[in-house]
Amino acid sequence: MAANRHGEMGRRTALGLGAGALASGALPRRAGAQGRMAPITIVINQSPWLDSFQRTVQLYERETGAKVDLDVNPFAGSLEKQRNSVRARQGTTDLLIMNSGWFAEMYFGGFVRPITDIDPGFRLEREVYTLGDTIFFDAEKKTMTPQGKLMSIPISPLIPLTYYRGDLYRENGIQGAPRTFAQLESNARKLHRPPRMYGIVQRGARGPHTVAYDFYPYLYGHGGSIFRNQAENDYTVTLNAPEGRTALDYYIRLAKEAGHPRTAALDQAEVIQAIVTGRGAHMITVVAAWSQMDDPQRSAVVDKIEWAPPPSIEGRPTAPGLGHWLAGVSRNVPDDRQRAAAAFLAWFQTPAAQIATAKLGGIPINAAAYRDPIAEERRFRWMKPLAEALPHAVNIYQFPEASEVIAVLELGLNRAIAGEITSVAALNDMSSQIAEIMAKNGYRTGKLEPLR
Amino acid sequence: MRRWRHESGLQLALLLGGLLIAAPFAWVVAAGFRTQISLLMGEVWFTPTLSAFEEVLFSKTSDFLLNVRNSTLIGLASTAIALAAATFGAWSLHRMRWPRWWVHALLLWALVLQMIPPVALAGGWFVMARAVGLDNTLMGLILAHATLNLPMALWMMGVFVRDVPQELVEAARLDGASTPTLLWRVVLPLVAPGLAAAGVLCFVFSWNEFAAALNLSMRQTATVPVAIAKFAQDFEIRYVQMAAAASLSAVPALLLLLVAQRWIVKGLTLGAVK
Amino acid sequence: MGGLGLLPVLNLVALGFFDVRWAEGQSTWSFVGTTHYAALTRDPLFGAAILNTVVFALGAVTGQMILGFALALLCSKATRGRVFWRAVFVLPVLIPGIVIGAMWKLLLNPEFGALAQLFELAGLTPVDWLGEPSTALFAVIMVDVWHWTPFCFLLFLAGLESLPRDVYEAATVDGASAWQELTRITLPLMWPTIAVTFVFRLVLAFKVFDEVYLLTGGGPGTATEVVSFTIYQRFFTEDRAGYGAAMAVAVIFLIFLMLAAAAAARRRVQA
């Protein structure tokens, strides 16, 4: 049975390679050189999708005879590892798996070499998600738009989705998925039975990128934003606009009246813990946690969770903040290794490779994979909501100093949620601190009238 | 009779202390035999399973046995280097006629080094290791851990070296012993208990060190704490696998401590009176 | 090895006066004088971190010393099972800090942690030790006490076993009570060991990182922010190497002040 599936996968992937070759025209040369392809090292972090990625890599090795080594790190250590490597005279890792929190640093710092500089024949597959155009970078204008060069290929298109208890919805006669903030709030209130069941569990703790990341779908779903227009280099701080206030007040109200009493101390792992132990009716969390939900060793809510795109206000699209992973080729490694890394990316982006990834438990980056019959299977029921939400994904930061801004948001939001300060005071305070950081780093910025 | 009651009171107090210390430890070990969901649901009774141990030891994504080997080699080698350097250093500092200020400056330096959070040193070490081709080698980590533990070893060995009776040294000199012979034949046997004590502490510290190991190692050279930290993920802290790995990792250190206990206590004993 | 210890430290001190930026794969260092040190005084995290770390270090080390001393005293007086107890009491020091953090996070969880279960058995309301700003630092201190008491225990036990027997025999003959024996003989004789252990542990406690990292991440709010963690965030997460370095240097200076104060206090006590 297993062998059968592998055989089928191999055939399909081979087909995909053929199609890719037709599209790029450069592939035959590359394929011919594969016997002599330099081995590459990929620096990556431990995650729920690592196992599927690893097996996808093994598939690549089997098909092409290339040699790929994975340097797996704890989540916390991956960035330090990559900085160490790219800043040295010669790097230790060829392919960097970069998180949404730090890829801008790698682009701006010139550490990642454009893929099309390495292989001028490289063609981006048509249906690969460009994820807020974060795979492109214009080094002159310092913007991320398709006019820039191709810098990376997505590895995991992570965004938050709404997880909700389908079984409880049925028992309580609630129709349909929670698509608007009004629906989410009324459904959460209906299912709120503390301390056995919380209407919603939110991730309000201060961390490296914790409460801020949890807040983005609320902020952008309400039509708010942190900056006026990053693509145009307009960094006027708009966090304390009325939309921002509505969003934060909503978030806090939900936490207080239909949420977890410890919201201000909950980290992502604890939010998910609350859901898998059956103590929460909703959470808005990165799609990658899906694999925990149906695993009987790790979950008490097997087959009970359903997915939907994050809510928005009536008339606005869903607006999930990107928490994705991109693969870029390190500048400071030998040419043959750079070419080998680019060849891997060329293969990885194909529909065939992505369908294979999905079957191995990964989250595909090519829209074609979401039309594959597997998207109809019960265990892959997160695929359709994800495909629906992905085109609306928002890239929150397009500049390398984002971590300083995030630190401000983490403290300010956490204090507001803990009730130490009012939402208005928090928003005004964070806004002026962010404007200060932007001005210090030489960006065109400004402030709105403080909220009152 | 009074003596007996005295003893049983003592044993009772020891039992209480032992419980406070051992109960969480026992709980950690037990957690390794559970499933994640049983642990999270707070089930008091559970059916033991070996799945966490199997995953830690034999799963494809785990290199635990390799990690144990690395940690062992790094621990032993870095301890040996730190001890050798500390013994010679201590001898030189306390027995040769260096100016007082120089001795104090060096000891103070050792203390400063001990104070710096390793996270702040790791970046600089990586650059140095890379420059001489020692990154991603066990040697790089061995040197790093030896450096981290040297101040502690130097302080401890200093106490023992100062204890070596001056008359013995002079007698050996009169017999025409060279400095190496003197150190090997006379000093070393006298400071052996100190070596044991400092050695075990160095080993245990190296065995558990995380920040430097994370920055200076890659997959082939990763140590046990780095491997264990991989179970603390963004989406899920894999408590049961972590517990299983932690229980396994405590075994070598525990064995060492049990075997070497007699010497450690003796070593510390001699050192502590000074 | 001198180089391994010396160069990064010099590098750290130098970094503290610079801003480092990366572009085109090259770093540029720009001299900023004492700007970083001035900024330290206005950093809300640093202020909280210093205060918390001092409370943490003093609280934890005091706790460990007292407990470690008591256990060592008991163990040295016991006639049976010394080897056994010694093995039991050193267990926690064998567990990596990173695991200690994860495990206590679970033990202290108010919903399904072992401690909460004990509280419920006793008919008490479970406390959210790590989530409440008022108890979080205390909880972290307790975890550290659990982790490092064995270290103090080992050093103290060694010290106690080396004390000269004849003094005690003389005291027994003189009819001294156990308390008198402790305060008049044991403590004064143990003073050097106590001082060494104190300095050792204090220096290590100031570096606490692994445990806090997983236990609380510095929160809630800034309740458990400690200096190592702040340095880590500023230095690595935010990539402000210059500022982070200045912070590390300032912390070293502060520890020095504390040790000097302790030494001065001790001299006064002896005089």
Evaluate whether C46 touches C247 at the Cβ level (below 8 Å): yes
Indicate the residue of C23, C130, C133 with minimum beta-carbon distance to A109: C23
Assign C25 a pLDDT band (cuts: 50, 70, 90). Answer: low
Q: CB contact, 8 Å: C233 with chain A?
A: yes
* pLDDT over 50 at C167, yes or no: yes
Closest CA to A187 of A197, A247, A211, A417: A197
Q: CB contact, 8 Å: A403 with chain C?
A: yes
Per-position b or e across B109-138, b if 16+ CB within 10 A of its CB = bbbbbbbbbbbbbbbbbbbbbbeeebbbbb
DSSP H or E segment with residue A399? none
Q: CB contact, 8 Å: B224 with chain C?
A: yes
Q: Which residues, including other chains, have CB under 8 Å from residue B242's CB and lie 6 or more apart?
A: B228, B231, B232, C99, C102, C103
Contact criterion met (CB < 8 Å) for A109 and C131: no
Using CA atoms, how far residue B157 sits from A204, B83, B150, in Å, is 49, 8, 10
Q: Give B-chain residues touching A332 at CB under 8 angstroms.
A: none
CA end-to-end span of chain B, whole Å?
Answer: 37
Task: Among 1.10.10.10, 2.40.50.1070, 1.10.3720.10, 3.90.420.10, name the CATH number for the domain at B52-273.
Answer: 1.10.3720.10
Separation of alpha carbons A362 and A354, rounded Å? 8
Tens-place pLDDT, residues A299-336: 999 999 999 999 999 999 999 999 999 999 999 999 99
* Mean predicted confidence (pLDDT) in A132-146: 92
Q: Which residue has the higher pLDDT, B108 or A110?
A: A110
Evaluate whether A446 touches A236 at the Cβ level (below 8 Å): yes
Evaluate whether A159 touches A99 at the Cβ level (below 8 Å): no
Q: CB contact, 8 Å: C150 with chain B?
A: yes
Q: Give A-chain residues touching C112 at CB under 8 angstroms.
A: 277
Choosing among C91, C198, C201, C204, which should be mutated to test the B contact, i.e. which has the most B CBs within 10 A? C91
Neighbours of chain A (3+ CB pairs under 8 A): B, C
Separation of alpha carbons A140 and A1, rounded Å? 53
What domain count does chain C have? 1
* DSSP character at residue C212: H
Using CA atoms, how far residue C221 sits from A211, A419, A420, C51, C71, in Å, is 12, 11, 9, 14, 36
Residues 211-230 of C with CB under 8 A from B: 214, 227-228
Evaluate whether B212 touches B24 at the Cβ level (below 8 Å): no
Tens-place pLDDT, residues C224-264: 888 888 888 888 777 788 888 898 888 888 877 877 887 78
Give the domain extent around C158: 51-225
* Mean predicted confidence (pLDDT) in A402-426: 91
* Mean predicted confidence (pLDDT) in C68-82: 85
pLDDT of residue A20: 38
**β-strands A95-99, A40-45: how paired?**
parallel
Contact criterion met (CB < 8 Å) for A83 and C219: no
Indicate the residue of C5, C210, C235 with minimum beta-carbon distance to B113: C5
Q: Dig out the tokens for C78 from the structure.
A: 């016991």
Q: Give A-chain residues touching B214 at CB under 8 angstroms.
A: 73-74, 77, 80-81
Q: Of A16-25, A393-402, C214-223, where does mean pLDDT reach its minimum?
A: A16-25
CA end-to-end span of chain C, whole Å?
Answer: 40
Residues 165-204 of A with CB under 8 A from C: 195
Contact criterion met (CB < 8 Å) for A292 and B236: yes
**CATH 3.40.190.10 segments of chain A:** 33-158+322-371, 160-320+397-447
In a domain, C141, yes or no: yes
CA distance B35 to chain A (A): 6
* Mean predicted confidence (pLDDT) in A84-112: 90
**Placement of tokens 């210390």 in the chain:** B21
In a domain, C249, yes or no: no
pLDDT of residue A104: 93
Q: Dig out the tokens for A392 from the structure.
A: 């609306």
Q: What is the DSSP string of C56-109?
A: HHHHHHHHHHHHHHHHHHHHHH-SS-HHHHHHHHTGGGGS-HHHHHHHHHHHT-
Contact criterion met (CB < 8 Å) for A418 and C221: yes
**Which neighbouring-strand residues pair with A163?**
A283, A307
pLDDT of residue A54: 92
Say which amino acid occupies B224: V
At C44, give phi and psi (nearest 5°): -65, -30
Q: Give C-chain residues touching B228 at CB under 8 angstroms.
A: 96, 98-99
* pLDDT over 50 at C220, yes or no: yes
Contact criterion met (CB < 8 Å) for C44 and A262: no
pLDDT of residue A30: 43
Per-position b or e across B156-173, b if 16+ CB within 10 A of its CB = bbbbbbeebeeeebeebe
Complex-level ipTM beyond the 0.90 threshold:
no
Indicate the residue of A79, A195, A206 with minimum beta-carbon distance to C219: A206
Q: Give A-chain residues touching B226 at CB under 8 angstroms.
A: 73-74, 77
Residues 141-160 of B with CB under 8 A from C: 143-144, 146-147, 150, 152, 155
Q: Give C-chain residues touching B120 at CB under 8 angstroms.
A: 12, 231, 235, 244-245, 248
Indicate the residue of C90, C117, C232 with minimum beta-carbon distance to B119: C232
SS3 track for A153-195 = EEEECCCEEEEEEHHHHHHCCCCCCCCEHHHHHHHHHHHCECC
pLDDT of residue A397: 92
CA distance A106 to chain B (A): 17
Tens-place pLDDT, residues C204-215: 888 888 888 778
Q: Which residues in chain B show pLDDT less than 50?
A: 1, 272-274
**Placement of tokens 């350097």 in the chain:** B85
Q: pTM higher than 0.90, yes or no?
A: no
pLDDT of residue B273: 44
Assign A235 a pLDDT band (cuts: 50, 70, 90). Answer: very high
Q: CB contact, 8 Å: A78 with chain B?
A: no
Say which amino acid occupies B114: Q
- Residue C16's closest chain B neighbor by CA? B120
Q: CB contact, 8 Å: A418 with chain C?
A: yes
Indicate the residue of A86, A108, A265 with minimum beta-carbon distance to C131: A265
**Placement of tokens 């260096």 in the chain:** B98
**Which neighbouring-strand residues pair with A98?**
A326
* pLDDT over 90 at A117, yes or no: yes
Half-sphere exposure in the Cβ direction for C230 (13 Å, CA): 27
Superfamily of chain region A160-320+397-447: Periplasmic binding protein-like II (3.40.190.10)
CATH architecture of residue range(s) A33-158+322-371: 3-Layer(aba) Sandwich (3.40)
CATH number at residue C76: 1.10.3720.10
Say which amino acid occupies B93: L
